[in-house]
Amino acid sequence: MEQYNVTGMSCAACQARVEKAVSKVPGVESCSVSLLTNSMGVEGTAPTDVIIKAVEAAGYGASVKGAKNSSPSMQEQEDALADKTTPVLKKRLTASVIFLIVLMYFSMGHMMWGWPLPSVLEGNHVAMGLIQMLLTIIIMVINQHFFISGFKGLLHRSPNMDTLVALGSGAAFVWSTYALFAMTDCQVRGDMAGVMHYMDEFYFESAAMILTLITVGKMLEARSKGKTTDALKSLMKLAAKTAVLYADGQETCVPVEQVMTGDIFIVRPGENIPVDGVIIEGNTAVNESALTGESIPVDKQEGDQVSAATLNTSGYIKCRATRVGEDTTLSKIIQMVSDAAATKAPIAKVADKVSGVFVPAVITIAVITTIVWLLCGKDLGFALARGISVLVISCPCALGLATPVAIMVGNGVGAKNGIMFKTAVSLEQAGKMQIVALDKTGTITEGEPKVTDIVTGDGISQKELVAIAYDLEKKSEHPLAKAVVNYVEESGDKNSFAEEVTDFKAVAGNGLKGKLGTNVVAGGNLKFISDYCNVSDDLREKADSLSSEGKTPLFFARIMSFLE
């Protein structure tokens, strides 16, 4: 799927217009436009320049998301997701509100509540009208985007929500301006009754209020868009910004974008792995929860694969890069989440079809409303006010945005919790599920292992077993070892168990061994302990039972001779 950035869209009608225009291009198999992320995904063989021309012919702008032969850095991708719209709208809204308050004081405060006016304006209704007109013009200039986008859509025969706003606000302003000029004529002729009549025909505050309120909605919408991309940005932040390359005995720190397939890189304990690779020296435990959801770090040794953005928790390792840039597992996950945002669920497609004809229908209804009131004997001001109300109140954005916002938020929340949806269709189907089968340990873990059960064998007490486990595990950095250490320290028996283990050795992926006084101790998985002593059938059955509950059994043994 080829990804594009689309500019100039303001509502679901714009989205439908772009989709319709691109879908007509020969070679396009499918086209999905996301109003939420201002992006478009196109599948097919149509040339890129032809697709962009089709979007531009529809009255919008388009550009390819990055070049096919380049790999944009994670920082560039984060910048692309940055919320640049909300700050602009916030400034527009602040300025609009300031001038609107002054306008409302003159138009409503004085007329309805008798608030005081400067003496020069007392009884000067024409001056009052001029002030209202000038303040309204200022607010209209501040929010000129509505008029530019709205009338551009009208000229391209693709009216959108901005068209409704522009027509509603523009009609109110034009009628009020006509009333102002009519008032001046009455003033010249000394017809004070006419002056007061036309004073009531001013809708300047309505024209300004429409723009300001819609700007509030636009800002809230932009903030919602910004928040829903947080999941992608949090995924990108997992990626290392630099890598330590090893060549000819020298270590060199370089930006991760410069790492090439086949390069040797070094990762120390506590560092994120920069790119996908294979370990060629050393062993460690790697926390892969960001990619797999598995909370317990996985033991790695020579020949094992490691992935970008996973955390090296314990050992020093040297790796050979196998996949870099957009080929890494993390990049593919980010791309998958991005693709899901660009695809549509079936319910969203239904909403788009409705919103695509919604704006023309509303304009038609507004015209009919105005004509009907005129035929019923009402004056033009009364009829026009009802027609404007239809234009302003009827807004397709609630219909066109509600569904994609819900889908994007669902994708975002899922990504933050380690759940990825390949497409929006998958997300919609997930909402209909009643039974879930988990193919891992059979449970959903909290992310931090804890000691839950202590089972002793013949001839050893629970206290002796815990003492052996603590003295041996306190020298290990493995997460399971930390669980044992935390259990003892929280119980308050730490001092009674504090003995020094000598000749300590960690066997990656298996366990630990060492000398404790005159005895030899070992701890680890069943296979490892079985090499040092016989494990009774009873203990094996209990271990199997605990494993079936999603728990990880650890075995400890005290033996009489140290075996290499």
What are the residue numbers of the active site?
A: 439
Q: 369 is written with which tokens?
A: 């409303």
479 vs 552: CA distance, rounded Å: 12
HSE value, Cβ hemisphere, 13 Å, CA-based, for 160: 30
Q: Name the 3-class secondary structure at 187.
A: helix
Residues 408/37, Cβ–Cβ less than 8 Å: yes
Beta-carbon count within 10 A of 493 CB: 15
Helix or strand or coil: residue 54? helix
Instruction: Indicate the SS3 state at residue 359.
Output: helix
* Residue 272 CA: distances (Å) to CA of 47, 291, 447, 450: 39, 13, 18, 24
Determine the longest span between alpha carbons in the chain, in angstroms. Answer: 120
Distance CA 201, CA 43 (A): 54
Q: CA 139, 140, 145, 146: dihedral to nearest 10 degrees?
A: 120
Q: Which amino acid is at 108?
A: M
How many other CB atoms sit within 10 Å of the CB of residue 549? 11
CA dist., res. 184 & res. 206, Å (int): 21
- Sequential DSSP letters for 210-269: HHHHHHHHHHHHHHHHHHHTHHHHHHHHTS-SEEEEEETTEEEEEEGGG--TT-EEEE-T
Q: Tokens standing for 267?
A: 């990762």
Q: Which position has the token pair 């629970």?
A: 462
Percentages of the chain per state (helix, strand, coil), in multiples of 5: 55, 15, 30
Residue 403's nearest CA partner among 428, 434, 429 is 428
Q: Which of 402, 397, 396, 394 is nearest to 348 (CA)?
A: 402
Centre a 10 Å sphere on the Cβ of residue 127 and count the other Cβ atoms it contains.
15
What whole-number distance in Å separates Cα of residue 100 and Cα of residue 109?
12
73 alpha-carbon distance from chain centroid? 18
30 CB neighbour count, 10 Å cutoff: 14
The 555-559 sheet, strands edge to edge: 501-507, 511-516, 519-524, 555-559
